[in-house]
Amino acid sequence: MQRIAQSPLEPGFVQNPYPFYDRMRALGPVVWWEDYGMPCAVSYAAVNAIMRDRRFGREPIAPLEVADHMQPFYAVEAHSMLELEPPRHTRLRGLVVRAFTSRRIAALEPEITALAHQLVDALPEGEFDLLTHIAQPLPVIVIARLLGVPDHMADDLLRWSNAMVAMYQAGRTRAVEDAASAAARDFSAYLRDHIAARRHQPADDLITHLIAAEGDDDRLSTEELITTCILLLNAGHEATVHTIGNGVKALLQSGQYTADAPVEPLVEEVLRFDPPLHMFTRIAYSDIDVMGHTLRRGDQVACLLAAANRDPGHWDRPNDFDPRRVAKPNAAFGAGLHFCVGAPLARLELAVMLPILMQRLPGLRLARPPKFAPTYHFHGLSRLDVLA
């Protein structure tokens, strides 16, 4: 297996990781990334195959040894369907899907549309940060309302979520771990009380439907409800914030910020071109041959989703942003058993917000060059300063 080194915190990589992915892909579909100490799938075929292969999974073979200061964080993670395999994953996802239905998501379109217009109406005069005023509030308010959490909690949800997802970023420190554990503890305490209130006073929201969801005489426990709500809140807004920011940046820089772009191809191209999550790992549950390389039981392998999305073997002109490109499956939401359960909601938010921005703010332009935050394996801007 060919080897390559690249710090995920090096400034040039942070601002544009795609040339590095091209160099990796030139070495083969699976390459050893020295800085992570693991093999990485970089072609679309390799990434797609690993994510769909049930001989790979998320659960570690040996139990994790958790330090005392990390107990609150991992107490939440212990019930996350993102980190579990069948049969627990099957049970949890099945119960969640019973509540998180496509019909319920589609019914949100008028509310998302109204919120998008309200956010545009509230924009300040002159220069503003599109992340702060549009990209962050839209998805966090939508997912909070879907769950039945009051709008005034949005700032707390955002703060807790940011602290927790920082655990997956390169360069993790003890301070990051302490903040994540504190956030997990506070987030859990809030949701425990909120869930208890909903048990006594049901409402037409996702938490109530999750409480009521059952199958084969089975229901979600309180701990599972807490973790599922945290997962939906964290994943339900974090990725969409980055996707809106990255998408508007791509539209403006490519000169294709125009209201006449067909919506579905636009959304899929935004997701393909610069996705919010660049790395998702799997563990081999047996000795497995992957594209001519043998992975041993217990080995971890990284699927580089963004590299797969720029594979010239799968797309023509992969480094060109083309919102009229004929859409086909990309790796932004993963694949297989762990395909993102919130993908329909994310697509709906993008399909509503991007056209409204282009219709309401046709003269939008960059106020200064945008910069990405050093948060790999997430890929999102630190700010997007624009003028309308």
User: pLDDT tens digit string along 197-239?
Assistant: 999 999 999 899 888 886 556 788 999 999 999 998 888 788 8
pLDDT band at 47 (very low <50, low <70, confident <90, very high): very high
- Say if residue 98's pLDDT is above 90: no
Q: Residues of the chain with pLDDT > 90: what percent?
A: 81
> Looking at beta carbons, which pairs linking 321-326 to residues 24 or more positions away fall under 8 Å?
321/250, 321/251, 321/253, 321/254, 321/256, 321/269, 321/273, 322/269, 323/251, 323/256, 323/261, 323/262, 323/265, 323/266, 323/269, 323/270, 324/261, 324/262, 324/265, 325/265, 325/268, 325/269, 325/272, 326/265
Tens digit of each residue's pLDDT (9 = 90 or more) over 76-90: 999 999 999 999 999
pLDDT tens per residue, range 333-343: 999 999 999 99
Write down the pLDDT at residue 151. 85
Q: How many CB atoms lie within 10 A of CB 268?
A: 20
Q: Is the pLDDT of residue 331 over 80?
A: yes
Query: Residue 216: its pLDDT value, please?
Result: 56
User: Percentage of the chain with pLDDT > 70?
Assistant: 99
* 171: containing domain: 3-387
Mean pLDDT of 164-181: 93
**What was the pLDDT predicted at 76?**
94
Mean pLDDT across 34-43? 97
Mean pLDDT of 45-69: 94
Distances (CA, A) of 190 to 79, 183, 255: 17, 11, 45
Averaged pLDDT of the chain: 94
Give the chain's domain count: 1
The mean per-residue pLDDT over the stretch 34-60 comes to 96
| Residue-level pLDDT at 259 | 80
Q: What confidence score (pLDDT) does residue 236 get?
A: 76
pLDDT at position 100 over 90:
no
Q: How confident is the model at residue 177 (pLDDT cuts 50, 70, 90)?
A: very high
**pLDDT for 26-37, tens place per residue?**
999 999 999 999
pTM above 0.85, yes or no: yes
pLDDT at 214: 65
Note the pLDDT of residue 64: 85
CA distance 243 to 138: 12
We report the CATH number of the domain holding residue 224 as: 1.10.630.10
pLDDT at 133: 97
* pLDDT of res. 99: 83
Q: Mind listing the pLDDT tens digit for each residue in 276-307?
A: 999 999 999 999 999 899 999 999 999 999 99
